[in-house]
Amino acid sequence: MKSPCTIVIPCYNEAARFPVEDFLTFAGTHPEIRFLLVNDGSKDETMALLQRLRAGREEQIEVLDQRVNGGKGEAVRCGMLRALEQEGCLYAGFWDADMATPLEAIGELTEVLAKRPGVMMIFGARVKLLGRRVERRAVRHYLGRVFATTVSVLLKLPIYDTQCGAKLFRVTPRMRELFADPYCSRWVFDVEIIARFIRQQRYDMAAVAEAIYEFPLQEWRDVAGSKVRPKDFFRAFFDVLRIRRLYF
């Protein structure tokens, strides 16, 4: 089945909180979107759940079983490599399993890519604006702002939100290079993807800024049970320094 868009969803111990009904409703009304569900060595019933989701929908939903937990970045990387090889796929990206960003945003992101041929990747941005429903706990918001500012300074790129789990990429022959090798960072692989793209563009920051688009989301909400803890933000700073040394 040819699909203009493939979405990778990394799953680690998501059996109790994966929004099954929302996912199936969206998939049923958007047959043009293909899903690649990656089980990242879960210890609960996640793999069984993913197999049930796929049953009867094999043309639209694929399940990739990573038997050993490698972290979200590795699950995304392996899923993206497979997605980028699919016939007829125009856009490939990844989405958080808790669907803090509703799947309906996929259409908004693909619309931007369709209208702006120079944009190679589009990232959801959690910006609390009037008329939009962005619900984020204060501590995570402020830690996120400090982190994003640090990344902007170190990468010399004015990016607002590197860590939102809703990202799409235009499928091109060179896009695979961004996912070809394992990441040095377990915590902020999103930043490493950007660093690889900067290197791929030969550190032409003007070209990089033209190729990356941040889209203020209409809706985003904190979902209970997140595996990200405040202390992880501090670990992330060390990973950013490691990325800076490796790529710059």
| Rounded distance between C-alpha atoms, residue 90 and residue 84, angstroms | 9
State the sign of the Cα–Cα–Cα–Cα dihedral 178, 76, 25, 22.
negative
**pLDDT tens for each residue of 68-114:** 999 999 999 999 999 999 988 999 999 999 999 999 999 999 999 99
Question: Which pLDDT score, from 0 to 100, does residue 126 have?
Answer: 95
Q: How confident is the model at residue 2 (pLDDT cuts 50, 70, 90)?
A: very low
**Average pLDDT estimate for 148-163:** 93
Residue 126, classed as helix, strand or coil, is: coil
Estimate the share of the chain in helix, then strand, then coil, as percent rounded to the nearest 5: 40, 20, 40
Question: Which pLDDT score, from 0 to 100, does residue 1 have?
Answer: 40
Q: How confident is the model at residue 172 (pLDDT cuts 50, 70, 90)?
A: very high
How far, CA to CA in Å, does 175 sit from each of 169, 180, 196, 201, 231?
A: 8, 9, 10, 12, 32
What share of the chain has pLDDT > 90, as a percent? 85
Residue 114, classed as helix, strand or coil, is: helix
Task: Delimit the domains of the chain by residue range.
Answer: 5-247
Q: Is 187 exposed, middle or buried (0-12, 13-18, 19+ CB in 10 A)?
A: buried
**Average pLDDT estimate for 185-214:** 96
> Which is nearest to 155 in space by CA: 94, 215, 124, 196?
196
Element at 167 (helix H, strand E): strand 166-170
Question: Which pLDDT score, from 0 to 100, does residue 143 have?
Answer: 85
Tokens of residue 207, six digits: 């070209």
Residue 229 has pLDDT above 90, yes or no: no
How far, CA to CA in Å, does 74 sit from each of 21, 24, 66, 146?
A: 27, 25, 9, 25
Residue 232 has pLDDT above 80, yes or no: no
Q: Which fold does the domain 5-247 belong to in CATH? A: Spore Coat Polysaccharide Biosynthesis Protein SpsA; Chain A (3.90.550)
Q: How confident is the model at residue 230 (pLDDT cuts 50, 70, 90)?
A: low
**pLDDT tens for each residue of 14-52:** 999 999 999 999 999 999 999 999 999 999 999 999 999
